[in-house]
A and B are shown apart, each in its own frame.
Chain A
Amino acid sequence: MLLVELRKLVRRPRTWVSIGLLAGLPTLVAVFLKITGIGPRPGEGPAFLGAVLSNGALFPAAALALVLPLFLPVAVSVMAGDTVAGEADHGTLRYLLIRPVGRTRLLVAKLVVTIVFVFLAVVVVAAVAFVVGATMFGVKPLPSVSGQTIPAQDATWRTVVTVVYVAWSMLGVGSIALFASTLTDSPLAAALGALAALVTSQVLDLLDAAASVKPYLPTHYWLSFVDLFRVPILWHNVSRGFALQAVYIAVFLGAAWANFATKDVKS
């Protein structure tokens, strides 16, 4: 079942189009920066982007910061929202269940596919950004956000942790979308449901009146990976972000399972 799901993912043009677009956006930004030489002033615009002009080694982190607020969660929501609802929409869900594929098994396979897609997307974005950054801006030892220099070796593992952190955050999004996907037979509605949750979270995160709930919002710690490029690393928000996403992932996967395992499949 798992291999079948992976085959479906890989053979689907949409998978590659969305990953291509995700990697394309930072590349486009890099081209503009390179041609004009105008970067955002320090402390303004997307994280790291100002520093990228002088050092391409920061570009993977900058690229992730570019796609993280909107583009990446949209891609993940659309993909994960399609997992179960898409099968229902094609009329294939009933045939999979009759085949028979156990409901829990089907859901686990869909989850694994979501994880694979998320990691693939994040890694491809980071890798493409590394190549683009290195060729366009050159690689030097990283100046940290705090001012000191980060040795190259150190920079590598910080980037790896960043990739894992972003992927983990996106898995939170994927879990919400997967749950939504078990609620409806329309992949579009499922993706929209997940995005509605994220937009709500982002709006509340900007609202001073919502200060009391901010630390529990799914999007609150997304950009905290910037702290990984400080010396010394500020682990507080990063570890809180990891833990918070773990709770979201557990709750929404549990809800998805509880709903799907007991649901009348009428699609």
Chain B
Amino acid sequence: MSDLAVIRTEGLTKRFGAVEAVRDLDLEVHEGDLFGFLGPNGSGKTTTVRMLLGLVFPTAGRVELLGQPMPRAGRTVLREVGSLVEGPGFYPHLSGRANLSLIDAAGPGGHRADRRRRVAEALERVGLAEVGRRPVKAYSTGMRQRLGLAAALLRSPRLLVLDEPTNGLDPQGMRDIRDLVVELVDGGTTVFLSSHLLAEVEQICTRAAIVNRGRLVAQDRVEALLAPTGRVRITTPDPGRASELASGLPGVGLGEWRGERLTVQLDGTSPEALNRHLVAGGVPVRELVVERPSLEDVFLELTGGDSADGRRGEVPDAAG
């Protein structure tokens, strides 16, 4: 992993008439990242993706792709970028194979001689080898999505920009695509994954940005976004004694107590110290869990959704 910014935007802004779709967005995606781009519907994700690829022209700000300015350097830079934007697009009366062959032939790069092989490989990769000869109009939504991904992979791009790649796929299909994306990243491809499937991003992404109403609200490593909340859950057959002992320790605030489960808030005391203290006091600790927020919690917190557990203020402010 090097420090080259594969995608960099500075002050990226797009207005459609009076509507400000994207405002002052600063993104940085490094080489080798599996970058999750999150946001509620209508938060400007797709507009941002379209600006990255030179389809929509920014009102203000800059976009750099692979170190070169977009959209000016698009003709060279985009050769090394594969993408799936807002669903795949194909000529319905032609077969999947013919579609891939046409899109490959339409632009620069990629030898004519090995086109057939590359098309076959891309189809194989997404699990469409068997049906590549059927016309696209006979494909299911999931198959179209896979074919779109195959088109993005045709020329083994350095950067993959995927907008909702698992849309319309069944659970098995989603897992296949996730595995494929991880495999590609392991192979050195940088992936920019725009999604609203938080679990998906939480599972596979290394870094993530969250946008809301066209503004960036967080951008960090996923681990950092999911930093511990400071709460620790203890399971013990003797929660009474545990609560007594814990409250004697400085920097521990008592929380809920439900059955065998006790929740405490640590502030200045480490979970290890708490555990030692409890065990030394004769409390049998069956389980001690350091609570982390799910990406959903963080997302809802940052995008103004309701966070039921009232963890407000404990989410790291990663926007700066």
Contact = CB atoms under 8 A, between A and B. Distances in A.
Given A91-B89, A93-B89, A266 B56 contact: yes
Contact of B55 (A12, A13, A98): A98
B78 A94 contact: no
B102 A4 contact: yes
B223 to A, nearest CB: 32
Contacts of A94: 50, 53, 55, 85-86, 89
B263 interface: no
A91 B87 contact: yes
Nearest to A97: B55
B93 A99 contact: no
A91 B86 CA distance: 9
A29 interface: no
B83 interface: yes
Interface residues of B, number: 31
Contacts of A90: 89-92
A101 interface: yes
Interface of B is mostly: loop
B310 interface: no
A119 to B, nearest CB: 23
A11 B94 CA distance: 9
A264 B56 contact: yes
A93 B56 CA distance: 13
A97 B103 contact: no
B91 A8 contact: yes
Residue from A13, A93, A100, A266 whose CB has the most chain B CB atoms within 10 Å: A100
A37 interface: no
Contacts of A97: 53-55
Interface of A: 1, 3-4, 7-8, 11-13, 90-102, 262, 264-266
18 contacts: A4-B106, A7-B105, A90-B92, A91-B88, A94-B50, A94-B89, A97-B53, A97-B55, A98-B53, A98-B83, A98-B85, A99-B106, A100-B75, A100-B108, A101-B107, A262-B57, A264-B50, A266-B55
Closest 5 CB pairs of A and B: A91-B89, A99-B107, A100-B78, A265-B55, A92-B89
